[in-house]
């Protein structure tokens, strides 16, 4: 029996996290260790994305959010940014039939209007084409920042207050959340970060308030189904108290 199969048998299907969010880190270090250019790490990272999306669908996770590109990532060298954008566009085009075959529904969060037009087109096409699928929701965070998300939410809420849609004193956590990019999904139950860093890096700041965090030293291009299962099993051991006792 493979390691993944063995771990999967231990999983309690009734206690799965509904929403798993992943900070896919370590592509650059993976490449450096092999004397390869950083972009080779991103290319290898796409393979992990494919495997983890498939695994989440098969295991029965409802939502998977992947941090694919942050608002800060534009500061990277031009060549690297261009490669990441090309990889996104190509992966969306290439994987679309597969997403449909596996009933995956694609969504995206972030300042999407600032993305190169070709990436926006590929995204819109994939989102539309997978709209009716009923399996895993794959939520890609692209040009995403937790702080900019909160600022964007405050702006739209302020506009609604100005229009009289709601009064300042009526604003509650429940109302505020409806203005976040993630209003279509529950908060993540489990946040995974690869490559050993202990940081949140401006990812889903509001939404991870009560998420369980699982960090592995494994670089993202090496992250496989059995690592995901390790995280899920560890999650199932946790006692979530949400501030209570």
Contact window for ligand FPP (CB under 6 A) among 10-18, 19-27, 55-63, 123-131? 19-27
CA dist 180 and 13 (Å) reads 30
- Out of 19, 21, 28, 144, which residue is the one contacting ligand FPP (CB under 6 A)? 28
Annotated active-site residue 73? The verdict is: yes
| Nearest CB to ligand FPP, comparing residues 129 and 236 | 129
Question: Residue 57 interacts with ligand FPP (CB under 6 A)?
Answer: no
Q: What is the largest CA-CA distance in the chain?
A: 62
Contact window for ligand FPP (CB under 6 A) among 1-9, 66-74, 181-189, 236-244? 66-74
Contact window for ligand FPP (CB under 6 A) among 22-30, 99-107, 155-163, 229-237? 22-30
Q: Which residue of the chain is nearest ligand FPP when measured via CB?
A: 28
Binding mask 187-216 for ligand FPP (x = CB under 6 A): --------x---------------------
Question: Residue 49 interacts with ligand FPP (CB under 6 A)?
Answer: yes
What residues contact 203, with CB distance under 8 A and at least 6 apart? 21, 23, 67, 70, 141, 144, 146, 191
Question: Residue 140 interacts with ligand FPP (CB under 6 A)?
Answer: yes
Half-sphere exposure of 153 (CA within 13 A, CB side): 23
Annotated active-site residue 133? The verdict is: no
Do 53 and 61 meet the contact criterion of CB atoms below 8 Å apart?
no
3-state secondary structure of 193: strand
- For the bound state, the minimum distance from the C-beta of residue 228 to ligand FPP, rounded and expressed in Å, comes to 15
Question: Residue 46 interacts with ligand FPP (CB under 6 A)?
Answer: yes
- Out of 66, 119, 141, 204, which residue is the one contacting ligand FPP (CB under 6 A)? 66
CA dist 126 and 118 (Å) reads 12
Contact window for ligand FPP (CB under 6 A) among 14-22, 82-90, 146-154, 174-182? 82-90
Do 196 and 216 meet the contact criterion of CB atoms below 8 Å apart?
yes
Question: Residue 16 interacts with ligand FPP (CB under 6 A)?
Answer: no
Per DSSP, the residues of 16-74 read --SEEEEE---HHHHHHHTT--HHHHHHHHHHHHHHHHHHHHHHT-SEEEEEEEEGGGG
CA dist 80 and 42 (Å) reads 9
Instruction: Identify the bridge partners of residue 65 per DSSP, sorted by sequence position.
Output: 21, 139
CA dist 190 and 137 (Å) reads 15
Binding mask 150-179 for ligand FPP (x = CB under 6 A): ------------------------------
Interface with ligand FPP (CB under 6 A): 24-29, 42, 45-46, 49, 66, 68, 73, 84, 87-88, 91, 140, 195
């Amino acid at each position: 029996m493979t390691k993944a199969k063995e771990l999967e048998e231990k999983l309690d299907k009734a206690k799965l996290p509904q929403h798993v969010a992943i900070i896919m880190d370590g592509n650059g270090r993976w490449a450096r260790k092999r004397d390869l250019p950083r972009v080779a790490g991103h290319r290898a990272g796409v393979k992990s994305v494919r495997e983890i999306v498939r695994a989440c669908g098969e295991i029965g996770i409802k939502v998977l959010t992947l941090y694919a590109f942050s608002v800060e990532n534009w500061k990277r060298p031009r060549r690297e940014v261009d490669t990441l954008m090309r990889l996104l566009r190509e992966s969306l085009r290439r994987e679309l039939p597969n997403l449909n075959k596996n009933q995956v529904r694609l969504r995206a969060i972030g300042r999407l209007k600032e993305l190169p037009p070709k990436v926006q087109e590929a995204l819109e096409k994939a989102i539309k084409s997978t709209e009716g699928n009923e399996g895993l929701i794959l939520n890609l965070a692209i040009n995403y920042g937790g702080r900019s998300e909160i600022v964007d939410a405050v702006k739209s809420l302020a506009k609604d207050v100005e229009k009289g849609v709601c009064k300042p004193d009526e604003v509650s956590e429940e109302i505020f959340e409806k203005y976040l990019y993630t209003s279509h999904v529950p908060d993540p139950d489990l946040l995974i970060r690869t490559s050993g860093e202990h940081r949140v890096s401006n990812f889903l700041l509001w939404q991870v308030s009560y998420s369980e965090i699982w960090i592995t030293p494994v670089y993202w291009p090496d992250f496989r189904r059995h690592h995901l299962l390790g995280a899920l099993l560890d999650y199932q051991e946790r006692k979530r108290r949400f501030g209570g006792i």
